[in-house]
Amino acid sequence: LLAAETTELIHGKEGVQQALCATEVLFGSRKSLGLQQFTGHDFASAFIRDPRMVSLDRSAVVGKSIDEIAVLLDSCRSKSEAARLVRGGGLYWNNRPVTDSKWVPEAERGDFVGGGTIGILRTGKTNCRLLRLLDAE
């Protein structure tokens, strides 16, 4: 509570929202809403200059399996490395363990957060990447 109030005094309400969003992404929590409480703008603002956020055209990601996405985001060197991580319980999508390396995340099914524009891939305990989907203009 004190940290939130201090952050608000220094950075304003948007700064508090950014800090809460970054904390949820990087450390997770047991809150009932978790990642669902944040908008695509919240994620983008919280990680705007962070190299862990990778922005890709939606068409480059749609239909790709999680092992392919892990390679696209440079979280893994190969699909087989991603598959090994899945088998060992070390690959997470939006803070939930992935159990099938051929699983394909779909926005329509709610597999992306932030209004269907953000996916968070974590390998191991600390390697985190945010996938930001961009719509073609």
The whole-number pLDDT of residue 27 equals: 66
* Residues 6+ positions from 104 with CB-CB distance below 8 Å: 63, 64, 65, 66
Alpha-carbon gap, residue 91 to 114, rounded angstroms? 20
Give percent above pLDDT 70 in the chain. 75
* Residues 6+ positions from 50 with CB-CB distance below 8 Å: 130
Per DSSP, the three-state class of 118 is: strand
Q: How many CA atoms lie within 13 Å of 27's alpha carbon, on the beta-carbon side? A: 7
List, for residues 24-73, the tens digit of each pLDDT value: 666 665 454 577 777 787 888 887 888 989 999 999 999 999 999 999 99
